[in-house]
Each structure stands twice: as C-alpha cells, then as structure tokens.
A = this chain, B = another copy of it.
C-alpha cells in the first residue's frame, strides 16, 4: 500500500526548510528531527545547517532513504516540487499550503496540475493535503506538521482521521488533556490523492490502532469513505458535521461540498458506523470501541447507585436507540436477595446509594444473558470506593462491554479510575458521557461487514 510511504516513512525530507524561527519551514524541521529515522532539510537557496542538519539542494541530492516529503513551499511551486519527489523516488508528500481546490477556479486548476505531477511520472507520489496541517504518529515521534507544542500528545490506540487539520488538533489536545493516547492524528485537508478511504484502510492494517475516529465535513469521496467503512475490521466512529447549511464557508475550507449530511448519516447507520455530535463524544465513544469487545446486541443493563443520574442515563440511551430490557426474573431474584427492599430492581437497577454489595449487583446484571452491555454509575464515596475486584473478575468472565461512569473530585478520580481502565473498563466522569459511549457500542453492534464483496468492487444492496 503506497500510503505507507506517507504514514510509515523510513526518512523525511523537509522541502522549503528554513533556519528562520517562526517560518513554516523552520517549525517543520524542528518537528521532523524528533523522528526516529533520518530527516533532511531541503532548500537550494540555503546553506549551512539547521538544528544540526546540513541543508540539501534538492530532494534528488539526498543521500539516504527518504519516503516522505514535508512540502513547505508556496502553492504555485508545489507541483514542480512533487514532480521532483517522484523522480527521486519519494512516494509520499504532505502539502501544507492552501490556495488549491478550496480557493476557486484557479486553485482547482492548480490542484489538477498537482495531481498530474503526482500521478503521471514514473513513480507515483501519494499526497496528504494540500491545505492540511499534516499528521502525527506519537509512538514513532513522527510529527509531520508545522504546528508547535504537539510532542506531548501521548501515544495510544485511537487513530484520528479528520477532514480539517484545525479540528484534528482540537481533538489531539483534548486527548492529551484527558490522558487519551492516539496511534495517529491526521488532517486530510483537500484530499488530492489520500482521502478517507486510503487513510481508513491504512489504519485498519495498523497494529497500534484499535479504533478509527473520523471527522467528516461532507467529503466528495462519499463512496470511497462508506465502502471502506464497510470493509474494514477496526471499529470506526464518525463525527459528521454539516447538518445545517453554513453557506459557502464550508466549501471554502477543504474544497468539499457540505449538504450531504443525511447521505452520510444513512450510510454510516447502514454500515454500523456510530456517529456522534461533538469532538468530546468522538473521543469518549472511541475509547469504548477501542477497549471493549463488540457487543452482541443493543440490550443495555444499567446499574446505578444514584437514581437521578440513572434516569438521565436511561433517557439518553433510549433516545440513542438502545434497549433497556427487563432483567431475567432469576437475576431480579438474585438482586432482591442481595439487597432486600432494593429501591428499584428492574432496569435500571438502583441501589439507592453506594454500598459494599454494589459489586454483587453489578455482577448479577453482567451475568444476565438478556444483557449485551453493562453501564455502571456510582458517585465516588470514600470508604466504599469502587467494586474494582468484581469488575476485574467480570471482564474476564463475561465477554461483554462493561462501562463505568462516576463523579467526584478529580484528585480522587485521577487516583482510582486508571485502575479500572487498566482492566479494560472504560471510565467516564459524567452520566451523559457514559451513556454516549454506550450508545456508540449499541450502534456498532449493528455492524455487518461484507469485506470480500466490497473488495471485489461489487455493489451490494441490502
């Protein structure tokens, strides 16, 4: 797969490298040298070195393995740079400049020239962008961007694939602030050749990635996007923006028409790709999809130690299409045995307040065959804490998602919740965030892949 040259290069060239702080070509070199492989600053007009690396005159003059060029030159020069990259055997390029398809007729023509330069030479060049802020692979210290302050984004198992570079960074910083690691963060920009389809397929094959999070503004490669979502094995979750008509602002952004919102929503629903309504929800749902086994169905068992949050959760789950079935009578009997006169033993189960037997109630619900997904809500109470041991047993005993939502002072939660996370129980700090994560699992349960058919290119109507 050629996009490998983009996302997994052996070496990097920064074209338009600069030794002037603040310039894009300077920031890009500063980021590139963090990479575990070699990085070369390229600029025929520069001499000497930057960050200890000698300037090279052209990509053809680089003496070493290079698959990826970070292109920091102005738009008009980009096509010729890409042609040189192709001649030099560089198979991937990130193009930061704007002024292409998003910028009217002249820009569209320039983008056509760019694609021709990338595809018509002896060696093809895969293009991320133009009009992108690039990508990150934290585990490789690969920061293919001119943005600063991104080295602290932690490595993890979520791949963020965003149409907008700015939104990608908004997601990456949110992830960092919440201690959520990413396998990659990609801003697609204008998608000259690397679009959603290529990126999703690539990260589906990436060992570090356990869930793929999309930000979609109404891409023009709807077909590629939806078909790839159907074909891949890795769970995919989408933040689909563009419900309302925001005029020509969106088109001016990454050269895509919005207004296909309903098409995407329907397509995603059909292929079991849950959609969310915000960046925060995208990360919340992504963590659940990446952590939990895929549920067998939409039946959620809710156990709460406080009724009010339990009602908010049940309300939100039902609105999202989840089912809260009555528990098996045997389960209800077990619960009544554990807590005679329990406040409410149907579903949600409400224990009234945290108590030592809370974990036993959770276990009874988790072991009920009617239930596909368990959502627990319990405000933190000192002296009682969380039913960690029970949850640990359950995670290995029942092959179902177990999701935990809570509230309390952050210092308490910071200390206790990582334990649960380490067991494979995703944790959330508001009732609604827990419900939204479970809603993503519910919708993902509908997923029915038909990968072979799709890989043949045959259309299947269902």
Q: Are B350 and A249 in contact (CB under 8 A)?
A: yes
Collect the chain B residues with CB atoms within 8 Å of residue A379's CB: 166, 169-170, 173
CB distance from A277 to the nearest CB of B (A): 8
Who on chain B is nearest to A324 by CB? Answer: B246
Q: Give A295 Cβ to nearest chain B Cβ, in Å.
A: 20
- Chain A contact-residue range equals 35 or more
A174 at the A/B interface (Cβ < 8 Å)?
yes
Residue from A249, A278, A408 having most chain B Cβ neighbours under 10 A: A249
* Interface-centre pick from A174, A245, A308, A432 (highest chain B CB count, 10 A): A308
Q: Which of A152, A165, A344, A383 has the most CB of B within 10 A?
A: A344
- A167 nearest in chain B by CB position: B308
> What is the oligomeric copy number?
2
Which residues from B are CB-within-8-Å of A431? 167, 170, 279
Task: Flag if B166 contacts A307 (CB, 8 Å).
Answer: yes
- A252 partner, pick from B163, B165, B343, beta carbons under 8 A: B343
With known contacts A217-B308, A249-B344, A432–B278 Cβ distance under 8 A: yes
Q: What CA separation (Å) do A188 and B134 show in the bound complex?
A: 51
CB distance from A310 to the nearest CB of B (A): 7
Taking the closest CB of chain B, its distance from the CB of A217, in whole angstroms, is 6
Please give, as numbers and ranges, the residues of chain B lying within 8 Å of A169 by CB-CB distance. 306, 379, 407
Q: A315 with B243: in contact, given A149-B408, A170-B407, A308-B165 (CB under 8 Å)?
A: yes
Q: How far is the CB of A402 from chain B (nearest CB, A)?
A: 20
CB closest chain-B residue, reference A318:
B244
